[in-house]
Structure 1
Amino acid sequence: MPGRQQSSAEYTVAMSTCRTRAACVKSSHDGGQPSSLIVGEYKGHALYDGRALEAFDDREALDAAAHAGQLYSKNAAAYLRIRPADLDHLLRAGLLEEKHRVRAWNQPKRAYPAVPLYRRGDLDELLARTDIDWAEAQATPKGRPSPFAKLPDAAASA
């Protein structure tokens, strides 16, 4: 229905019905649900309808997405209040995975990006897990073995 505002719940449903961006673009040309959001593709990126974005007025959903989407690099360990070595054990165990990589300021442009980035929403979900003893990890002093060293490797369990 052209001209009708789409709620955040409808937006979530619309986007979850498209497994890939190409499917969303295809469905927008076929008259599918996401037609009010994605109208095409440009250089491999989704092209959004500005009128649909302008009509979006769910401030709570926007704030939640902005909060959860913040990216952290190695300071993710500081956000979790653990040591960088403990963060490495969480990565090895597959409890956390990087979402993106960027180049460091001193890396050449041709080099593979070396700085991993982690979503704040993923870090919050990790902190909410009750099967991880955060108090023990946060109290472990420098130079002592990590309590996360006992976690199984993600590659071994797969």
Structure 2
Amino acid sequence: MLRDRGFFLVLLLAACGGSSSPPPAEPAARTAADLGPMCHRYYARQATCTDDYLSAVLDVRIELDMPKGIGERVKTEGRDVVLKEARTYWESDMEPAKIDAMCEAMATRTPADQLERLLKQGDACEAAADCKAFAICAVETERSFIASGATHH
């Protein structure tokens, strides 16, 4: 009888993997559904870092001259005037319903071949230590959008 219990114990330990731990689980693959929450975190950080973000956007717009003549406007009207106007547009774009719509669109309309790139860019910006670093990262991810002349509103 003891011999049978020993055999049973060996079978039980073998079936349960013995005393060794199971291998660590692979992290779940991220999907487009991960873009929605990341998008909301991105806009929340943008709101926390508004001054640095708007300044970085203006710098890129001046560099790209987009919209055409913005660099000249800054020279003639002053950076503060142009930033104040940009803040007005930005505040309109940051309404919760608009952010929800943008993030929903990102989560449902992003082509699969762009998913990993966007998630990596989002990770990098989220990891930025301070507002200035976040703003630079965020604006670099938006550079092609800015260069296209598209607007959020």
Aligning the two structures, in what range does the TM-score lie when normalised by the shorter sequence? under 0.3
Determine which structure has greater relative contact order: mean sequence separation of CA pairs < 8 Å that are 6+ residues apart, divided by chain length: 2
TM-score (norm 2): 0.23
Specify which structure has the higher proportion of strand.
Answer: 1
Question: Which is greater in Rg?
Answer: 2
How high is the TM-score relative to the length of structure 1? 0.23
